[in-house]
Structure 1
Amino acid sequence: MMNFNDFVNEVKGNIKLFLPKDYENAEVSVMEYLKLNRAYTGLVVRKEGEMIAPTINLNQLYEAYNTQPGVTMETVCRKIADMVSVAPIQVDLKSILNYEDVKDKLFIRVSSAEANKEVLENAPYQLREDLAITYHVAVGKDQDGLSSMFIKNDLLEQYGITAEQLHEDAIKSSPHVMPPEVSSMGALIDEMYQKNILMLTPDEREMLQETLQESSEMPTFFVVTNTERVDGAGVIFYPEFMDNMGELLGNDFFILPSSIHEMLILPDDGQVDAEMLKEMLKEVNATQVAPEERLTDEVYHYDMKDHVFEKADRFTERQKEKAAQAVKTEKDGKEQPEQKPKAKKHDMEL
């Protein structure tokens, strides 16, 4: 089996053989990239005179090369050539460097502050518990999805604004750039069922029907994401979102970070226990969610009355503190002896 370094050198040395003639003077380079939630080795093929070029994730291709039968070095190079020669989105760099031009294209994402410590050292962000809100510019949309740029400190400096201003503007424009989408878990499974039913074998159909049956017996989870269903977990921090959700449910609610793409919301009707939810989330994260798509193992809670987003165990503590305080106040009130006015000293002297 070829090791990763040999694979990278082989790709770098051969890629031009698979590219059109106008790429013969292109610059081919390999760089280490540290992005939110992931680090990878990227191949960049930059044509003469072009300002930007796509970055190809070589770690993903190496995995396919090693694990998928029939994937040869030629297959890998042809795949890269296709990705490179499909005209990359030509971005007007001047407009990206001008804050007034990007202000309405800003949107937020959330990620684990702990897992992305290194990346966050060079970028503006705000913390909500252990989640980091970061800021991005939507560069363009096509059939492959959204192209975006992560705002780091050097770009913030170029904009000449404060991190607070960036946060305020990004929170305001996010719902327009990445509109929110809320649906019940059952509705999502139904949608998958409708889409896949014709492509399933009878056995698979039966399995899916059993899953549907089980899901109808589960508590009512709501899925919060954006209409792209990509990097949608930040939707819960859109303006007024949590208050509106609470009004809709008529209740406080738990928030489970299902992945970087969505949050699950479960009404806090006294039937579920935060500890149980945390155990469930930990199990799902460990077995069902790819490491680069995980958020955290924490369960959060939104308190409608106090308008507080916090870790669920902190909410439990606050409730205990409140209850203890109420008992103490009541007790103090009862124990207070009736105060008789003190006789003045001179009244006692005859």
Structure 2
Amino acid sequence: MNYQEFVGSVTGFLRESLPGGTRLQLIPLEKNNGIIMDGLSVRKEGKRVAPMIYLDSYYREYLDGRSLRGICDQILECCEDSDFEEHFDVDFFREPERVRPTVAYRLINYEKNRELLQEIPHLPFLDLAVIFYSLLTDTPVGHATVLIRNSHLELWGKNTSWLYEAAKENTEKLLPKRLVSMEDMIYELSEGKQEPEYAGVPMYVLTNSRKSFGAACLLYDGVLGECFRRLEESYYLIPSSVHEVILIPASAVGDSRELCALVQEMNRTQVRSTEVLSDTVYLYSEETRRLEMIDF
């Protein structure tokens, strides 16, 4: 079954299973790095909020051997359980002072997101862009995020400076940083089942408490200097994904060009296309005490 046939089967199943008057609409959505994904909007009659189902990921599960019926049943359960309006004030997002405590920032690649950046407020940072979202921590579906667009600022009568000040105040509180050794991170991710092998090069992972959009931690006040004190020397910063960055002492790297080649290879083979941050390697040096891109 090809992708279009899969979409037709899923939507046909939902039309037969959901209450009459439910509107199904397939909407192409631009995600990070210009990746277009199909979102299936499921709006029940009389509702202002509709769950969005990303069919691309479900199709990958189908290709990996999961049954079509199992996928359809899970999507149906999601649609039936997502009575968001009964538990959440949908007018909340019309009031900027109620939104302000939820505003946070994250980092994306500037060049790969040029089209998206035309529609959302942002600030340039090296070869990256700082963008903003609302982090909702108490919803019927757990944590949820809403990307803040230019249309929101127009509605609120606010500007990007207002957003940045709010995000600078909130992000570190909502998503505290975590700076841990690579060995400890491997042990943690394996839930204690894998004893890490020390490679002889001290590496650290910088992320946040949720390990989500954690690369933005490098924007926190004083964090780059804190990393310098932890490593006790200049260090290279590798953008392993939008969720975390890796720090390596400069004295442990013989040729920084090898690091650049490694990052590019990882981004093409190990990192999901929607989670790639940059192919660039950065240096925080003892002399400048700031983060700079490595050029060749």
Q: TM-score, normalised by structure 1?
A: 0.77
Q: Match for residue 95 of structure 1?
A: 92
Q: Match for residue 230 of structure 1?
A: 212
Aligned-residue offset at 1:137: 0.4
Q: Match for residue 266 of structure 1?
A: 248
Aligned-residue offset at 1:270: 6.4
Tell whether 2:37 aligns with 1:14: no
Contact 2:84 2:140 in 1 (8 A): no
Work out which of the residue numbers 254, 262, 267 in structure 2 matches 1:285.
267
Aligned-residue offset at 1:167: 1.4
Alignment RMSD (CA, Å): 2.1
Counting only pairs closer than 5 Å after superposition, residues 1-350 of structure 1 correspond to structure 2 as 2-19=1-18, 23-37=19-33, 38-65=35-62, 67-72=63-68, 74-90=69-85, 91-141=88-138, 146-193=143-190, 195=191, 197=193, 208=194, 212-213=196-197, 216-269=198-251, 271-313=253-295
Q: For residues 267 and 144 of structure 1, what CA distance do their matches in structure 2 show? A: 41
Aligned-residue offset at 1:244: 2.3
Aligned-residue offset at 1:32: 0.9
Higher relative contact order (CA 8 A, sep 6+): 2
Give, as a single letter, the amino acid of the residue that structure 2 aligns with 1:184. Answer: S
Superposed CA offset, 1:205-239 (max 9, x none): xxx55xx22xx024111111111111211111112
Point out the structure with max Rg over C-alpha.
1
Q: For residues 186 and 142 of structure 1, what CA distance do their matches in structure 2 show? A: 34
Change (3 A) 1:95 1:12: same
Q: For residues 114 and 175 of structure 1, what CA distance do their matches in structure 2 show? A: 26
More helix by share: 1
Change (3 A) 1:47 1:129: same
Aligned-residue offset at 1:148: 0.7
**Identical residues among aligned pairs (%):** 27
Contact 2:40 2:55 in 1 (8 A): yes
Unaligned runs of 5+ in 2: none
Give, as a single letter, the amino acid of the residue that structure 1 aligns with 2:12. Answer: G
Superposed CA offset, 1:73-113 (max 9, x none): x2232121011112354442322121111111111111111
Q: TM-score, normalised by structure 2?
A: 0.91
Aligned-residue offset at 1:70: 4.8
